[in-house]
């Protein structure tokens, strides 16, 4: 996974790769506010940071097609000193695994997603308090990372959306851009 990509402009921001721009378009479709390359850590710059979330969450995008490739990228993030939530995203949506759909990728967890250095596949949940769709891992807690609500396992439900249609729309948004 070298540092190759087609620089792509979306909404006045130039992303280092079309894949990063596609994920930005996906975040827009999900209603997630974010900053691109938000700050420098020790030897590492996160690709994105979600804004307005109660739980600090950064995102790393890699042109990976396997969970193993995403896991390999995680050690650099931990060496940087970041000890909060990390969402690792690859080149594709995940497909069926263990008879459940985990559409986004690998969540490398901080405190609220199940403990430091815990790895889990990510699903989406909808919070009944703030009505936000948010990344959620079954290995983690029953806590909304957007508003912080935690009432056991009764406040979240599956969002009524076609994640694959959104992913296709995000791809079409950046398909011919440079």
Per-residue pLDDT for 59 more than 80?
yes
- Contact by Cβ (8 Å): 122, 107: yes
Q: What is the pLDDT of residue 81?
A: 85
Q: What is the pLDDT of residue 116?
A: 47
169 is written with which tokens?
């729309």
Count other Cβ atoms within 10 Å, centred on residue 24. Answer: 25
The mean pLDDT value for 74-96 works out to 78
Highest mean predicted confidence (pLDDT) among 81-90, 95-104, 115-124: 81-90
Report how far residue 163's alpha carbon sits from residue 133's, in angstroms, rounded to the nearest whole number. 12
Taking all residues of the chain, what is their mean pLDDT, rounded to a whole number? Answer: 78
- Contact by Cβ (8 Å): 44, 54: no
Q: What is the pLDDT of residue 23?
A: 93
In a domain, 43, yes or no: yes
The mean pLDDT value for 99-119 works out to 51
In a domain, 49, yes or no: yes
Count other Cβ atoms within 10 Å, centred on residue 161. Answer: 14
In a domain, 5, yes or no: no
Name the helix (H) or strand (E) containing 24.
helix 18-30
Per-residue pLDDT for 114 more than 50?
no
Q: Give the count of domains, the chain.
A: 1
In a domain, 169, yes or no: no
In a domain, 21, yes or no: no
pTM of the model: 0.83
Domain that holds residue 155: 35-163
pLDDT in tens, 129-159: 888 888 876 555 667 888 888 766 666 777 7
């Amino acid at each position: 996974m070298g540092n190759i990509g087609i620089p792509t402009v979306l909404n006045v921001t130039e992303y280092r790769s079309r894949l990063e721009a596609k994920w930005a378009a996906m975040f827009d479709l999900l209603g997630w506010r974010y900053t691109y390359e938000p700050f420098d850590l020790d030897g590492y710059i996160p690709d994105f940071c979600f804004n307005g979330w109660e739980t600090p969450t950064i995102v790393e995008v890699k042109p990976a097609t396997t969970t193993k490739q995403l896991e390999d990228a995680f050690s650099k993030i931990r060496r940087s000193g970041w000890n909060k939530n990390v969402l690792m995203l690859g080149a594709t949506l995940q497909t069926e695994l263990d008879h459940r759909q985990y559409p986004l990728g690998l969540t490398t967890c901080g405190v609220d997603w199940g403990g430091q250095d815990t790895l889990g596949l990510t699903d989406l949940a909808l919070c009944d308090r703030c009505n936000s769709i948010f990344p959620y891992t079954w290995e983690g807690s029953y806590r909304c990372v957007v508003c912080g609500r935690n009432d056991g396992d009764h406040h979240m439900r599956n969002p009524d959306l076609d994640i694959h249609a959104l992913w296709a729309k995000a791809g079409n948004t950046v398909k011919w851009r440079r």
